[in-house]
Amino acid sequence: MQDGNGLDHLAGERAMAQFDLQAMKVYLAGGQREYEISTKMAQLVANDPVFSKEDRVRLARKDLYKNSLRKAGHAWKTILEKGLSEVEGLKLRHFVDEPTYTDLHWGMFIPAIKGQGTEEQQHKWLPLAYKMAIIGCYAQTELGHGSNVQGLETTATFDPTTDEFIMHSPTVTSTKWWPGGLGKASTHALVYARLITDKKDHGIHAFIAPIRSLEDHTPLPNVTVGDIGVKFGNGGYNTMDNGFLRFDHVRIPRENMLMRLATVTKDGKYVRSNKPRQLGYGAMVFVRQGIVIDASIYLSRAVTIAVRYSAVRRQFGNKDEPGELQVIQYRTQQSRLFPLLATAYAYRAVGFWMKSLYADVMKRLNDNDFSTLPEVHACTAGLKSITTSVTADGIEECRKLCGGHGFLCASGLPELYAAYVPACTYEGDNTILLLQVARFLLKTLSQVSKVRPVGTAAYLGNIKQLSTQNCKVSQGHDWLNTSVLLEAFEARSARQAAAVALRLAKGSGSEAEFQENTPELVESARAHCQLILVSKFIEQLQTGTPEGIRKQLEVLCYTYAFSQLIDNAGDFLATGYVTGNQIALAKEELKHMFDKIRPNAVALVDAFDHTDDYLGSALGRYDGDVYTHLYKGAFKESLNDTVVVDGYEEYLKPVLTQNLWAPHSKL
Ligand SMILES: CC/C=C\C/C=C\C/C=C\C/C=C\C/C=C\C/C=C\C=C\C(=O)SCCNC(=O)CCNC(=O)[C@H](O)C(C)(C)COP(=O)(O)OP(=O)(O)OC[C@H]1O[C@@H](n2cnc3c(N)ncnc32)[C@H](O)[C@@H]1OP(=O)(O)O
Ligand SMILES: Cc1cc2nc3c(=O)[nH]c(=O)nc-3n(C[C@H](O)[C@H](O)[C@H](O)COP(=O)(O)OP(=O)(O)OC[C@H]3O[C@@H](n4cnc5c(N)ncnc54)[C@H](O)[C@@H]3O)c2cc1C
């Protein structure tokens, strides 16, 4: 058995690093305090046997779910007993690392009440929710409609005689379907339903509906509720009880409608506030902004595994060097792996920026300034879409980068993928979200002569210049100028948006024409989002990055930008802004970046600071002792509980002992 080689390889790798590892860890954590909290919480979870992830992929659904309830309960007890702050508590949950009902309770139920409830309603519901005396979920999607929120069918009909709403699921397709935490855990659901007063349909509004008894957790009368069934992959998202819910004329008090954006009075009068109704989608904006940093974390986990393993794994060799080569030495491995490493860094930087963007819009909304809401919506929707798609594909690419061993659950990658891939669908299907961005771009362009675009759309104000000037790059190093790079991304995005806008403007304005152009609209939205990602990564670097890590971050930033340019070369070329030769020059520069990353690769993934417990991967272990742990791991396989397999007597032995020649068989 080959043993211990990996340990030496990674020590050697770490010795090559050319940057301040500790400073990078602090940068990636978002600051010294965040770093300390992360480290403390990661250790707390790793040292507590209740949080063990062992065997998660082998558990049957019932056991898996019960175990996840146990962990969530233990996490809550730990938070209370240790008096952890909100930030510490969230971090602790993060390191427990399995989707569970508390995600929706804290992540959507509470934010939705905060965003859409009146002060009085917040005073009533939030204390109960904060102490988890009630457990809430976010029940928007139905069997028949998810993306099309306006198409939801559940009704909330006001009955002025009793001052109540009657919640009803009139059709099979109106059944609430998918809400996390609804299936088995929640006591309350935030239900999105059509508000009907005096036979008039006022569209979709939010209601708090009690669904389970606070005494014995049984469903309340006329409520049908349960889990929707096993989902993709082993472990993965199966720790979550995504649920179904039907109401059969269930009555709730009038006060249970969240009334910050619209009110129903005691006598049944419907009164809209002067706030935009899109604020009703606020919880989605909140989660979408958080998803960007989350994407960075997931991608960084996969990349950590793939980089460490690629430094340990050796295949073939060449006559110039003794022994076999580490697979990380191969250019093809680098060209698949290093852009993903750079992407994880890019998403971290952009995620930090998203937090400030969100904080800014919240402040404005509190001051009744709604002017930046459309841009923030486009930004959160678009970046949620791009980062989750790239991360899901990136995890799968990392699995392939680990060869055969990546396919084993012991690599940690199959479960990571299964847990992550629904992010491309939840919180808005990724194509639907890009179409939202495209609509925003069209609207912005149509008003550009009258309204100066702001924020991430500001470059569209220079549309004339961006449409006429071409790229000035004549040598490779010309690309090493962030203004040159940015202008290329701006010009490509502006030209793609303008081209599709022009085509639509020349048409009749029909919905059919719009549909016909949706592939181009989606491409133009993607171009806009890629520009935001590149520009915000650059901007973050230029604002106070510590000296000891700046150089490496610059290398990663160029790696990210060049790989985006090259992967989308078709689009860049089609806009006419760059030439084939300029793309070729960028390719050469990208290879130079790979050479700069190579000696730092292991340290750059160490900087993500994932503990072995959190990674849960024999291939991504910090010590690189891959083979010993893969081999040991096989002995944990339940098929190996007995030397002779269960089933031998009934099914294997007869086959082996029949000793009959089947004369008519062609075999
Ligand atoms: C839960 C996480 C735990 C902790 C949270 C903490 C931090 C987050 C960190 C990380 C999160 C990590 C993981 C997440 C974990 C789990 C997720 C689990 C749960 C998942 C839940 C869900 O999936 S909830 C359901 C989500 N559903 C959708 O997203 C539906 C998608 N559809 C829509 O959004 C809309 O219906 C639509 C916009 C596509 C269609 O709109 P349309 O028919 O045009 O609708 P209108 O209503 O008429 O709107 C048109 C105008 O409104 C503007 N608009 C649309 N959306 C918004 C918005 N969100 N904000 C602002 N403005 C919006 C639109 O641009 C139009 O504007 P005009 O000016 O053109 O009129
Ligand atoms: C793991 C998981 C957890 C979830 N948790 C929750 C939750 O807690 N609460 C909740 O309410 N919901 C939840 N959801 C539901 C989720 O938000 C929806 O599934 C999502 O919004 C997509 O909607 P859909 O399923 O209706 O997809 P559809 O809209 O039916 O999409 C199907 C396909 O049609 C395409 N499509 C649809 N409309 C158009 C169009 N106009 N133009 C072009 N293409 C189109 C889509 O791009 C997609 O390819 C969850 C889903 C998952 C998978």
Instruction: Compute the average pLDDT of residues 46-57.
Output: 93
Could you give the dihedral angle defined by the CA atoms of residues 561, 433, 429 and 339, in that order, rounded to the nearest 10 degrees? 0
If one counts every other C-beta atom within 10 angstroms of the C-beta of residue 334, the result is 22
pLDDT tens, 302-328? 999 999 999 999 999 888 888 899 999
Residue 2, pLDDT > 60, answer: no
Q: Which residues pair with 246 in a beta bridge?
A: 224
349-382: b or e for each residue (b if 16 or more CB lie within 10 Å)?
bbbbbbeebbeebbeebeeeeeebbbbbbbbbbb
If you measure from the C-alpha of residue 422 to the centroid of ligand 2, how many angstroms do you get, rounded to a whole number?
10
Three-class DSSP category at 86: helix
Among 241, 432, 521, which is best to mutate for testing ligand 2, by the most ligand atoms less than 8 A from CB? 432
CATH number of this structure's domain 109-274, picked from the four choices 2.40.110.10, 3.40.1170.10, 3.40.1410.10, 1.20.58.220: 2.40.110.10
If you measure from the C-alpha of residue 588 to the centroid of ligand 2, how many angstroms do you get, rounded to a whole number?
41
Distance CA 202, CA 157 (A): 10
pLDDT confidence tier of residue 664, bands split at 50, 70 and 90: low
Burial class (CB in 10 A: 0-12, 13-18, 19+), 431: middle
If one counts every other C-beta atom within 10 angstroms of the C-beta of residue 337, the result is 24
pLDDT tens, 216-225? 999 999 999 9
Predicted pLDDT of residue 658: 80
Please identify, by atom number, the ligand 2 atom nearest to the C-alpha of residue 237: 1
| Spans of all domains in the chain | 109-274
Predicted pLDDT of residue 6: 42
Q: Give the number of the ligand closest to the Cα of residue 389.
A: 2
Predicted pLDDT of residue 1: 33
If you measure from the C-alpha of residue 298 to the centroid of ligand 1, how many angstroms do you get, rounded to a whole number?
22
pLDDT tens, 102-130? 999 999 999 999 999 999 999 999 999 99
Place of tokens 């106070």: 544
| Residue in 191, 190, 196, 157 with CA at minimum distance from that of residue 174 | 191
Alpha helix segments (H runs only) across 278-372: 282-312, 331-366
Residue 471, pLDDT > 60, answer: yes
Distances (CA, A) of 94 to 38, 75, 233, 349, 523: 9, 10, 21, 19, 34
Predicted pLDDT of residue 55: 83
Average pLDDT, the chain: 95
If one counts every other C-beta atom within 10 angstroms of the C-beta of residue 490, the result is 23
Question: Is there a binding annotation on residue 141?
Answer: yes
If you measure from the C-alpha of residue 144 to the centroid of ligand 1, how many angstroms do you get, rounded to a whole number?
17
Predicted pLDDT of residue 660: 65
DSSP state at residue 108: I
Please identify, by atom number, the ligand 2 atom nearest to the C-alpha of residue 138: 9
Instruction: Compute the average pLDDT of residues 441-459.
Output: 95
110-147: b or e for each residue (b if 16 or more CB lie within 10 Å)?
bbbbbbbbeeebbeebeeebeebebbbbbbbbbbebbe
For the chain, report the end-to-end CA distance as a whole number of angstroms.
38
Give the residues surrounding ligand 1 with Cβ less than 6 Å away: 103-104, 106-108, 138, 140-141, 147, 149-150, 180, 278, 281, 284-285, 287, 290-291, 294, 373-374, 377, 426-428, 432, 436, 439, 443
Please identify, by atom number, the ligand 1 atom nearest to the C-alpha of residue 141: 25
pLDDT tens, 24-37? 999 999 999 999 99
pLDDT tens, 288-302? 999 999 999 999 999
Residue 663, pLDDT > 80, answer: no
Q: Which residues pair with 439 in a beta bridge?
A: none
pLDDT confidence tier of residue 540, bands split at 50, 70 and 90: very high
Reported as half-sphere exposure (CB side, CA atoms, 13 A), residue 111 has a value of: 19
Instruction: Compute the average pLDDT of residues 459-470.
Output: 95
Cα of 279 vs its chain's centroid, Å: 22
| Active-site pick, 397, 427, 523, 589 | 427
If you measure from the C-alpha of residue 165 to the centroid of ligand 2, how many angstroms do you get, rounded to a whole number?
27
Distance CA 112, CA 286 (A): 9
Three-class DSSP category at 206: strand
Distance CA 441, CA 259 (A): 32
Residue with CA at minimum distance from ligand 1 atom 11: 291
Residue with CA at minimum distance from ligand 1 atom 6: 107
Distance CA 222, CA 495 (A): 56
pLDDT tens, 84-104? 999 999 999 999 999 999 999
Q: Is 427 a catalytic residue?
A: yes
Residue 5, pLDDT > 50, answer: no
CB 291 within 8 A of CB 280: no
Distance CA 98, CA 78 (A): 16
Residue 3, pLDDT > 70, answer: no
- Identify the sign of the CA torsion 402, 405, 407, 408: negative
pLDDT confidence tier of residue 4, bands split at 50, 70 and 90: very low
Alpha helix segments (H runs only) across 367-428: 373-401, 413-420
Burial class (CB in 10 A: 0-12, 13-18, 19+), 564: buried
588-607: b or e for each residue (b if 16 or more CB lie within 10 Å)?
ebbebbbebbbebbbbbbbb
Reported as half-sphere exposure (CB side, CA atoms, 13 A), residue 441 has a value of: 35
pLDDT tens, 483-527? 999 999 999 999 999 999 999 999 998 999 999 999 999 999 999
pLDDT tens, 570-621? 999 999 999 999 999 999 999 999 999 999 999 999 999 999 999 999 999 9
Residue 666, pLDDT > 70, answer: no
